């Protein structure tokens, strides 16, 4: 085996090579400057760089250096614009170089399995194709500046509850078609130099030690030649991780990681040549990214230019959801009343490790004068995370009654969307709902401006004339929204996820989140629109939906073996962009399928009256499915329906094509899987789930002996036998609940709450080792004296 950095590696001792597999501190790698190995810095950056100025912490509680806060991934995905995503990546890469960041930890492209996942704001879509294409674009842009992108979290990481210890029980076909296809596109088309493994287990094996995931799929099938970085505290068996393809456990585990590797080599669990290979691959990324940092660190960024680009991204990602009577756009000089705390204190990003310290921050009120509208008055209307304030509503009603138009700024507050916690419902805060209903009684021209990173229910929507969704628009989102409201820009965004009428309609309603050890993905392929469209459930807004101030007509569909061509014409009175979407479907008695699946899209800008021919090519993912018996991608022979849609529901052009398949034996018997062949997956029985799993359903509950073990999370101290452990649980829970009541999640407490005991050893920089952790578990299980003794003796051994 020839190593690229063989000369360097020969200069390193075994202990030095082992040390390279763990971080030096929270954000950087071990360096050996004497032999030419510099340190590499990693920083969060899904929508802006978060490099901390002082003491480091994973969740961003400590201040970070100012950086442009671009719109979140959930916002940018509404643009459906790969070129825009790549340009955004270039801006991120430029800021990374300036700040001395070698690896940008992003983008995040986990699938929005449920609207309630607390981190959906950080992810692109419910669809893997859209997610993958946007992620690949970001990656190309970031890496064009000489630094590395690190897409995350690989894979099937779809809930925050017990995220560090939850087992995603998912059938292989669904795993490949839904939960890893986006990553496949990101790796193959984006050429990512790094990837972050997720916290969770996948069918019983932790992602960071999963040979099937990290070797068989990532390396052998996709040809990945970069590095795998653990999520922070997500390395569980360090030796097994290195053996199966993980290169870097983060953060630093002190001397513990080195000792584990050395012991693994001594015992034969890990071969030194495998360690050398991992070191070589890590050194390649370190050295490849170092030139850009050396040449560009400290370079002054044009903050105004970056801010204006953030405005452009936000503007092109805004989705017009309702526009009764063409109330929008508002004419210059129109007098309006603005209501809602979000106009004064915007929701422009999520909470958690992606938190950015913006270079500047617009609010609607401080940029309103630039819009050409006239502000009659502003009223707060509601208080964040508090009960309905009738006095504020009455004041808002008085103002609304004296105005021709009302803009209500509403959305999900900070406590609703955060890393470390899932949402409990899909509603807006009740005080905002009450405000919208009451204002609508005194003014018929109400326009609601939404800020939220994931889908919400809108039972109030019939009360208002228009709804404009800005998602989480970043630091320039306020002016971008006013550009759309006034017609300076014609809205062109389309939803990256379905908005159901109510949460109970969602496919994973009965399965999400997994509340004990496992989370069972019984809905299989039927995620998002794949479910709603297949069984014909009415939704509030379908996947891919978005209105415009202009109109488009479609014609002349032609289908060939290479792809589809058709014509689009702007038949309205505004210049604008349209996003035609290619969907593929097939009726089959052998392979269960959703009625249609997204397999291509493009964004086309047309001046009013302009017509253009559009081409969307087929690719290797257009007709494939994953066969769990042959364990590879196959093609089913037969006739496929080719549809061009404005969204997942509204097909405007259709044709058919005959495809010659691979004629692999079907892995299913239709009569044995009625739920899956019909799409009626909300009550899948054990027998059918086991058939698609191709194995028995693993036991997913707590330990039957009632004892805590190192893989159990801190929140399970509720069940502990020790009074002291239960007291600790009460203290942690009290702090957590108190922060939630204040409307500002305590991110460190949320991290601890969902962290398994073994994570203590991985997140304390080696100060607490696994022996000490096992002693803490003994204490929790009621063996206090024994546990305290073992804790002390383990601490003494650690110091030797």
Active-site residue set: 231
Crossing angle of helices 390-401 and 430-442, rounded to 10°: 30
Q: How far apart are the C-alpha atoms of 579 and 594, rounded to whole Å?
A: 22
**Which whole-number Å values give the CA distances from 2 to 222, 273, 281, 373, 769, in the listed order?**
21, 11, 12, 67, 36
Alpha-carbon distance 473 to 484, whole Å? 13
Concatenated DSSP letters for 648-703?
Answer: SS-EEEEEEEEE----PPPS--GGG-HHHHHT--TT--HHHHHHHHTSPPPP-SS-
Q: What would the 3-class secondary structure string for 771-791 be?
A: HHHHHHHHHHCCCHHHHHHHH
Give the DSSP letter of residue 326: G
Q: Which of 478, 338, 466, 482 is nearest to 396 (CA)?
A: 338
CA 94 to chain centre: 23
Question: In this structure, which long-range contacts are made by residues 704-710, counting pairs with CB atoms below 8 Å and at least 24 apart in sequence?
Answer: 707/781, 708/757, 708/777, 708/780, 708/781, 709/757, 709/777, 710/756, 710/757, 710/758, 710/770, 710/773, 710/774, 710/777
**Could you tell me if 576 and 591 are in contact, meaning their C-beta atoms sit under 8 angstroms apart?**
no
Of the candidates 413, 350, 405, which has an alpha carbon nearest to the alpha carbon of residue 383? Answer: 413
Is the bond leading into 107 cis (omega within 30 degrees of zero)?
Answer: yes
Nearest-CA neighbor of 746 among 733, 734, 735?
Answer: 735
What is the 8-class DSSP label of residue 52? B
Separation of CA 312 from chain center: 22
397: enclosing H helix or E strand: helix 390-401
Residues 245, 251, 255: CA angle, nearest 5 degrees: 90
Please give the backbone phi and psi of residue 191, each rounded to the nearest 5 degrees, phi first.
60, 45
Cα–Cα distance between 649 and 664 in angstroms, integer? 31
Per the CB < 8 A criterion, the answer to whether 527 and 123 are in contact is: no
Q: Which of 65, 61, 231 is nearest to 746 (CA)?
A: 61
Torsions phi, psi of 585, nearest 5? Answer: -145, 160
Extract the tokens encoding 168: 């995603």
Distance separating alpha carbons of residues 322 and 567, to the nearest angstrom: 26
| Dist. CA 82–CA 458, nearest whole Å | 30
Instruction: For residue 513, say if its preceding peptide bond is cis, omega within 30 degrees of 0.
Output: yes
Phi, psi of 694 (to 5 degrees): 65, 30
Measured CA to CA, the distance from residue 560 to residue 564 in angstroms comes to 6
Terminal Cα distance for the chain, rounded = 37
> Rounded to an integer, what distance in angstroms lies between the CA atom of residue 46 and that of residue 128?
18
What b/e readout covers 465-488, taking b as 16+ CB neighbours within 10 angstroms? bbbbbbbbbbbbbbbbbbbbbbbe
Look up residue 655 and give its two tokens: 């044709």
Residues 282, 475: Cα–Cα separation, whole Å: 35
What are the backbone dihedrals phi and psi of residue 71, each rounded to the nearest 5 degrees, phi first? -60, 150
């Amino acid at each position: 085996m020839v190593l690229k950095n063989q000369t360097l590696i020969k200069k390193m001792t075994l202990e030095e090579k082992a040390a390279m597999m763990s971080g030096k501190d929270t954000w950087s790698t071990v360096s050996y400057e004497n032999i030419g190995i510099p340190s590499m810095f990693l920083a969060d950056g899904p929508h802006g760089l978060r490099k901390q100025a002082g003491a480091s912490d994973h969740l961003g509680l400590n201040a970070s250096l100012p950086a442009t806060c671009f719109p979140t991934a959930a916002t940018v995905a509404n643009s459906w614009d790969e070129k825009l995503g790549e340009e955004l990546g270039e801006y991120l890469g430029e800021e990374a170089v300036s700040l001395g960041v070698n690896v940008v930890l992003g983008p995040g492209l986990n699938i929005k399995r449920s609207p309630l996942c607390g981190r959906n704001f950080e992810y692109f879509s419910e669809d893997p194709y859209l997610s993958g294409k946007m992620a690949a674009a970001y990656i190309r842009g970031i890496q064009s500046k000489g630094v590395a992108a690190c897409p995350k979290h690989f894979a099937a990481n779809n809930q925050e509850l017990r995220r560090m210890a939850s087992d995603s029980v998912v059938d292989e076909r669904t795993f490949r078609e839904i939960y890893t296809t986006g990553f496949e596109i990101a790796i193959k088309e984006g050429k990512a130099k790094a990837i972050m493994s997720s916290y969770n287990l996948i069918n019983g094996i932790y992602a960071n030690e999963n040979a099937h995931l990290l070797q068989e799929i990532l390396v052998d099938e996709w040809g990945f030649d970069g590095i795998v970085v653990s999520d922070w505290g997500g390395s569980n068996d360090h030796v097994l991780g290195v053996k199966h393809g993980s290169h870097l456990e983060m953060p630093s585990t002190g001397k513990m990681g080195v000792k584990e590797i050395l012991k693994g080599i001594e015992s034969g669990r890990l071969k030194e040549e495998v360690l050398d290979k991992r070191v070589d691959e890590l050194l390649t990324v370190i050295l490849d990214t170092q030139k850009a940092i050396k040449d560009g660190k400290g370079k002054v960024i044009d903050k105004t230019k970056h801010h204006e680009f953030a405005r452009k991204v936000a503007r092109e990602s805004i989705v017009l959801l309702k526009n009764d009577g063409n109330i929008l756009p508002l004419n210059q000089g129109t007098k309006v009343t603005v209501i809602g705390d979000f106009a004064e204190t915007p929701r422009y990003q999520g909470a958690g490790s992606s938190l950015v310290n913006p270079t500047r921050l617009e609010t609607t009120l401080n940029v309103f004068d630039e819009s050409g509208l006239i502000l009659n008055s502003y009223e707060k209307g509601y208080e964040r995370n508090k009960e309905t304030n009738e006095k504020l509503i009455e004041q808002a009603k008085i103002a609304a009654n004296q105005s021709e138009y009302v803009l209500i700024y509403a959305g999900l507050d900070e406590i609703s969307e955060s890393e470390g916690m899932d949402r409990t419902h899909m509603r807006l805060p009740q005080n905002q709902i009450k405000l919208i209903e009451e204002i609508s009684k005194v003014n018929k021209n109400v326009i609601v401006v939404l800020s939220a990173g994931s889908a919400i229910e809108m039972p109030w929507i019939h009360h208002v004339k228009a709804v404009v969704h800005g998602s989480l628009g970043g630091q320039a989102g306020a002016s971008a929204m006013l550009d759309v409201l006034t017609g300076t820009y014609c809205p062109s965004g389309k939803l990256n996820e379905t908005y159901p009428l109510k949460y109970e309609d969602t496919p994973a309603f009965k399965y999400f989140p997994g509340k004990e050890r496992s989370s069972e993905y019984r809905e299989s392929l039927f995620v998002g629109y794949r479910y709603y469209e297949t069984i014909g459930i009415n939704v509030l807004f379908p996947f891919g939906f978005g209105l415009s101030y202009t109109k488009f007509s479609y014609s002349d569909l032609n289908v060939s073996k290479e792809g589809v061509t058709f014509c689009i014409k702007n038949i309205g009175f505004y210049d604008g962009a349209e996003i035609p979407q290619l969907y593929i479907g097939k009726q089959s008695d052998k392979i269960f399928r959703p009625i249609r699946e997204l397999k291509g899209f493009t964004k086309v800008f047309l001046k009013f009256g302009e017509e253009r021919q559009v081409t969307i090519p087929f690719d290797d993912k257009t007709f494939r499915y994953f066969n769990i018996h042959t364990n590879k991608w196959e093609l089913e022979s037969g006739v496929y329906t080719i549809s061009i849609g404005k969204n997942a529901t509204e097909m405007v052009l259709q044709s058919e094509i005959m495809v010659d398949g691979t004629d692999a034996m079907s892995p299913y018997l239709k009569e044995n899987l009625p739920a899956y062949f019909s799409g009626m997956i909300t009550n899948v029985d054990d027998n059918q789930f086991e058939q698609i799993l191709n194995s028995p359903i693993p036991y997913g509950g707590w330990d039957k002996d009632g004892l805590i073990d190192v893989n159990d999370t801190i929140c399970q101290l509720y069940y502990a036998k020790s009074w002291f452990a239960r007291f600790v649980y009460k203290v942690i829970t009290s702090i957590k609940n108190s922060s939630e009541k204040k409307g500002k999640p305590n991110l460190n407490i949320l991290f601890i709450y969902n962290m398994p005991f073994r994570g203590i050893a991985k997140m304390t920089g080696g100060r607490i080792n696994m022996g000490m952790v096992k002693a803490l578990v003994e204490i929790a299980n009621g063996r206090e004296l024994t546990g305290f003794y073992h804790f002390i003796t383990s601490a003494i051994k650690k110091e030797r």
